[in-house]
Amino acid sequence: MAYTPMIQQYLAIKEQHQDAFLFFRLGDFYEMFFEDALKASQLLEITLTARDGGDQGKIPMCGVPYHAVQGYIDRLVGKGHKIAICEQVEDAKLAKGMVKREVVQVISQGTLMERGGLNEKENNYLAAVVEHASQQYGLAYCDLSTGEMAMTYFAADSQKLIDELSTINAKEVIMASDTDEALLEQLRLQLNVMISHNDALNCAKSHASLLSQTINEVEHQAVSRLLNYLDDTQKRDLTHLQPANHYELNLFMKIDFYSKRNLEITDSIRGKGRQGTLLWLLDETQTAMGGRMLKQWLDRPLIERSQIERRQDNVAALMTYFFERQELAQALKQVYDLERLSGRVAYGNVNARDLVQLRQSLQQIPAIKELLESMTDANLKTLGQRLNPVTELRTLLEEAVVDTPPIALKEGGMIRNGYNADLDVYQDAMHNGKSWLAALETQEREATGIKNLKIGYNRVFGYYIEITRSHLANVPEDRYERKQTLSNAERFITPELKEKERIILEAEEKSLALEYSLFLELREAVKAYIEPLQTLAKAISEIDVLQSFASVSESQQFTRPIFSNNREMNIVNGRHPVVEKVLGHQSYVANDCVMHNDRQLLLITGPNMSGKSTYMRQIALIAILAQVGCQVPATEAELPLFDQVFTRIGAADDLISGQSTFMVEMLEANNAIQNATPDSLILFDEIGRGTATYDGMALAQSMIEYIDENVHAKTLFSTHYHELTALSDTLEHLFNVHVTAVEEDGKVVFLHKIEEGPADQSYGIHVARLAHLPDALIERAGHILEQLEQKEQVIIQAPLERKTAPLPTVAVKEVVKEEQQPQQTLEEQQLSFFEEPVKQPAPSKAEQKIITRLNALDLLAMTPMEAMMSLYDIQKELKAKK
């Protein structure tokens, strides 16, 4: 028993592409069979049918029309699948037997080229990783849609790899087929990235120029793996790819995976989008490529002072030219995506409308250039001088392409009159021929006396003269030859009309063929300008980002920071830029932050909801803004240059990895402690709250001491363990600050102001009252608090003996030595928590249940709506028990 020849051909091709949906071209449809058909019909919500498979009987089949295929491809790729496009590669009329078919392209998340699947203001990076015998990772990545390519190498550390892939937001990663499955699973879970495989580490000689900047073997292999994968999957010209640019990780501020998430630099924790992020705040770019460069700058803040100050100079200069900057923004709005247009030209999928966009963009460049060069600032003049208007290409496109061409390439109407003499002749014959037909229609009406006589055309019968039945008696039989009979009319042809039809149809056929040929030639001519277009795109992108910084800095009342030569930080009236934009400038409470060599650690206390986390975040965001070259939200700001930013802010279980809140806390804290340097910034928020009180307090104290003794990084450490404030007596670099609050009529009012010294109380019960918990419950909590305060025992001890060895990462309870424990055992103290207070009735079972539930709530990890719903459930339960 055997399948039909066509199904055998399908199966042979499918065998080579087991990891992809095979779109098999049959006439006007792309068909899928067997398992592909079953899955695709569900994912795409299209009809599943069946087809005769030969002796094997009916087989599952579904299909999509070729003219609408891109939408289906985008949907499948968006769901994490690959698509192999299989086309006829020979003329069916010339084929001997089965028409030859081949896969002409494999489309995946990292190789998208069409607009529908791409975010215009984000790069779409495809990355390749090589693990070298020298215990190093080689990383190469490219954006196929723009041609950008970069490479680096670093120690073979899986977390560093994840951080770097997270920084570039890679959509697809190419690994060796024998890569450790644990690493692959880690990449999938943390980055939600598509994994592909390629084992070749040498690429074609034609790609030699793309590897010219590789500096060692591991980089060379990574770029080779990337290019091999592109050759295998794209099977076309990749001349728009730029030589891989080597970069060093230590030339940029490092912001690890956790910190990027916690600080919401480019992605919101809540909505997983841009809204409410630093990128959202800063993005006043006018071009798609400017938007992508802005994200690149935020992903990699600079640490080279001269480079930062060069950007600052340009931003400051643009702020002084208000009206010129508005003109600049308007001109930039008219510039389309030069990078991706160049990519489409090289890739061969550009259409005439794309070339019109390219022409319109180039027409804006002289005005932008003149505007920048007219300014007196030398830096802005230099930016203008970098702009090459590519005049020859603009002139070519102005001469060749009409203003409003169709999308389809084979329907004509793309090329201007006067561009090609032969085409003009054909088009003149077509237009004059149609004018002649109109004149003939008038002439025949007069000759026959038939007023409703008309000349028409269809694809089957060509041109004809149509006469209704009521006028057939007036038809001149000597000249008219019957061609077609209709129910209420007859159609005729004349020798004269036949000849004109031949001329017109021949002109149309030749015109369409010539116009398509001219367009292909034009596309090839544009390819020669890809390199200057890419250079121009980078210059325009930089100008766009700088004007965006200037616009935001002006509207948000930012100021230019200066950089300290001795690691001092002095921020006056600093603000959280995103929170301030949401609340409004007048509503936000600004705060200072002073940290110098004798003041390295700030221990921040204060009640929940008072703004401790916001204050810590704003310090990090001010540092990041400064080092990308933007002005910062403060009245004054003197800052050190930070090499790394580490955060542990907020608490949430990592459900996918099966890790608890406390484990996530410890992993993030360990990452900071092990990798921070004296030039780093560390933000720790409520470390230790995920475990028992005394365990958490012991760990928090030990971490503070270790950072003070061994790391020396500037550190902001917020806590609810008020006992830790005593550390300022023994640690010379630690200072207490607190967020102020006042009590009015038994209610707490948060002032959100940072002041020196420790907080005098936590106001936790007041916060519970603000949440409208039952009065009886609040009163009971107050009694318990009084009891605990009466029996309070100080557990904070003198700092542990200094050690230069690294802090142990296991057996964490050893950080509190046995002789340092309070005389009463932890178990006894914890059991006494619910000891009945004097003259107070024992809590009922219902009250104990509510108290237990309240203790289990982690309000800082909850959204306002989640907290409200939890409290509503408790309140409803209490009412039900009354």
DSSP string, 669-737: HHHHHHH--TT-EEEEESTTTTS-HHHHHHHHHHHHHHIIIII--EEEEE-S-GGGGGGGGT-TTEEEE
**Contacts (Cβ under 8 Å, ≥6 apart) of 179:** 131, 197
607 labelled ligand-binding? yes
Q: Is 272 left (phi over 0), alpha (psi -120 to 50) or beta?
A: left
| CA 835 to chain centroid | 54
Task: Return the biggest CA–CA distance within the chain.
Answer: 128
650 labelled ligand-binding? no
Cα(218)–Cα(444) distance, integer angstroms:
81
608 labelled ligand-binding? yes
CB 96 within 8 A of CB 106: no
CB 532 within 8 A of CB 390: yes
845 labelled ligand-binding? no
Sheet of 569-574, strands arranged across: 562-563, 636-639, 569-574, 591-595
CB 403 within 8 A of CB 368: no
- DSSP-assigned letter for residue 843: P
Cα(397)–Cα(391) distance, integer angstroms:
10
**Contacts (Cβ under 8 Å, ≥6 apart) of 607:** 739, 741, 748, 750, 759, 762, 763, 764, 766, 767
- Rg value, the chain, Cα: 36
For the four alpha carbons of 54, 59, 63 and 66, in that order, the dihedral sign comes to negative
| CA 616 to chain centroid | 25
Cα(549)–Cα(544) distance, integer angstroms:
9
610 labelled ligand-binding? yes
108 labelled ligand-binding? no
Q: Which residues of 351-387 are buried (b: 16+ CB within 10 A; e: fewer)?
A: bbebbbbbbebbebbeebbebbeebebebbeebbeeb
609 labelled ligand-binding? yes
865 labelled ligand-binding? no
CB 244 within 8 A of CB 138: no
Binding-site residue positions for ATP: 606-613
Binding-site residue positions: 606-613
